[in-house]
Structure 1
């Protein structure tokens, strides 16, 4: 039997690792197909899981699928195999985002394999973080992880950080009065077993974190105007540590690179003892997204904003059964 031959259980285990990735509102907008005769995984976008208002161009959907792709590559490298990856392999099929062929040998993927323990440790944390600065060496390691995937990671400071936080305030003010924003949240949040067509998706109430009482951290309140009995309030960071993931261009392949960079950064951050949450509000408004960039550094369009720091690990959120997202073909 070839070393590349995988049992159905191993295929399912690899996809389970891939599907532990984060996605906007935990929509999990991916499907996988394993072609046994080609030793190849194919990753497809599930466009029924879009956010019509917050993500009309499906950029965030691509980021989530790319995070799952990075997890798959990590899991394959952990199996001591090489994930030969091709983005957008069929221009005629918009749903096919990537193919990953398993080949013998690690192919220099040792750094990826080392991230495997973090796949199921990484959870989004919507809790306050300590006012403790991330060491420069850790920041540089995270930036190097993003560069390995063809993206740039920067930590805004000074006037740039103040400007970024002001953009978040503007986006939050718009969201509070915009009916479309609430429609997306209502679909994917609101219960302890949230679901569109079954259990295992969306953001449950236990993962909302405390209501923000004070601080400057750019936190989205998934409860919105809905009352939640017994929910605590807390003070968040006065000096939040944000990281911007940027790309040179703003095409679909750039979104896929940025999503892989985002997840590679998150996995490495987890191994360094950091917690993280996502801050997407200004990214959802076209006119607010471009000013996020730092013109002094000449970075391209911002694809992801991460809040990083030392604090409580967030709870795990539900995942769809592997049988719902995986097909195996001979």
Structure 2
């Protein structure tokens, strides 16, 4: 179920991002169900009259023999659900091997999405668009206020959800990596400054169409890519700024052969794991019925 009271009307007016996030949670549920020996049967947007109901998952007995790939792989990703955390730190300038890129591309494909790694001029364009959008966000009072609402001062605020300041990572001194500074216009005393990677590895996650069902599929593909990456000792962060401006989002596509709609921009690489961040209490998000 979507909680539209937690939507971000300025940053995410269509609730596309909210759907992507719920899709990621849905993939984690499918992983856990498969890990515990059941077969999840998922229906997206099962009731048009109830827009809050994003998906249903029926737990069926697992077949006597292992289900066909790729569904059988889901249970293997279960440990990564607990280990994956966004890392907003500098990554090493170490290129991931081609076979690993192919593995991540296949993970997205299993969820009806496309993962691409822009190169050369397209990559430079993507990085420029992200930096432009970061600047636009800082100049927009309403978006800046929305960001401040969903960030926390760990010294004074209660440990609820949102992004605590200890998870912001260092402020970027140099490097080409596209980062998002959740401090916004604020200056955090004692926050370190660091050089980020000079050759960032950016992936674009796209879907053929651009409606609520596609956003949910994108969220599942995103989480599957992230869990596979975690299992392969990669770390990841997000650079969603340009996605939040419709004119810039359209320009993220490959200018000549690009098709579909970009749903997520992912920064991947080798580096330190990000810290754990707060989550809502289970009783607020999960209800057991008779």
Would you call these one fold, judging by a TM-score over 0.5?
A: yes
Deviations 1:94-122 (A, max 9, x none): 00000000001163332101111100100
Is 1:246 the counterpart of 2:206? The answer is: yes
Is the Cα–Cα contact under 8 Å of residues 194 and 200 in structure 1 kept in the other structure? no
Is 1:311 the counterpart of 2:271? The answer is: yes
The 2-side partners of 1:191 and 1:168 are apart by 26
The 2-side partners of 1:241 and 1:297 are apart by 20
Is the Cα–Cα contact under 8 Å of residues 151 and 162 in structure 2 kept in the other structure? yes
Is the Cα–Cα contact under 8 Å of residues 277 and 306 in structure 1 kept in the other structure? yes
Corresponding residue number in structure 2 for 1:136 = 98
Q: 1:105 aligns with which of 58, 62, 67?
A: 62
Corresponding residue number in structure 2 for 1:230 = 190
Further displaced range: 220-229 or 95-104? 220-229
Residue 194 of structure 1 and its aligned partner are, at CA, apart by 8.3
Is the Cα–Cα contact under 8 Å of residues 193 and 199 in structure 1 kept in the other structure? no
Is the Cα–Cα contact under 8 Å of residues 278 and 305 in structure 1 kept in the other structure? yes
| TM-score, with structure 2 as normaliser | 0.96
SS at match of 2:209: coil
Residue 128 of structure 1 and its aligned partner are, at CA, apart by 0.1
Tell me how large the CA RMSD over aligned residues is. 1.3
SS at match of 2:82: coil
SS at match of 1:209: coil
Corresponding residue number in structure 1 for 2:235 = 275
Ranges in structure 2 where 5+ consecutive residues have no aligned partner: none
Q: 1:123 aligns with which of 82, 85, 90?
A: 85
Is the Cα–Cα contact under 8 Å of residues 122 and 255 in structure 2 kept in the other structure? no
Corresponding residue number in structure 2 for 1:325 = 285
Corresponding residue number in structure 1 for 2:142 = 180
Is 1:220 the counterpart of 2:180? The answer is: yes
Q: How many residues align?
A: 285
Q: 1:171 aligns with which of 116, 133, 149?
A: 133
Corresponding residue number in structure 2 for 1:208 = 168
Corresponding residue number in structure 1 for 2:109 = 147
The 1-side partners of 2:200 and 2:281 are apart by 35
Is the Cα–Cα contact under 8 Å of residues 249 and 301 in structure 1 kept in the other structure? yes
Residue 215 of structure 1 and its aligned partner are, at CA, apart by 0.9
The 2-side partners of 1:194 and 1:258 are apart by 36
Residue 200 of structure 1 and its aligned partner are, at CA, apart by 2.6
The 2-side partners of 1:194 and 1:221 are apart by 20
Residue 295 of structure 1 and its aligned partner are, at CA, apart by 3.4
Is the Cα–Cα contact under 8 Å of residues 244 and 302 in structure 1 kept in the other structure? yes
Is the Cα–Cα contact under 8 Å of residues 199 and 320 in structure 1 kept in the other structure? no
Deviations 1:169-192 (A, max 9, x none): 211121121112211111101311
The 2-side partners of 1:224 and 1:147 are apart by 35
The 1-side partners of 2:284 and 2:156 are apart by 16
Further displaced range: 292-301 or 246-255? 292-301
SS at match of 1:173: helix
1:72-91 equivalences under 5 Å are: 72-91=29-48
Further displaced range: 183-192 or 275-284? 183-192
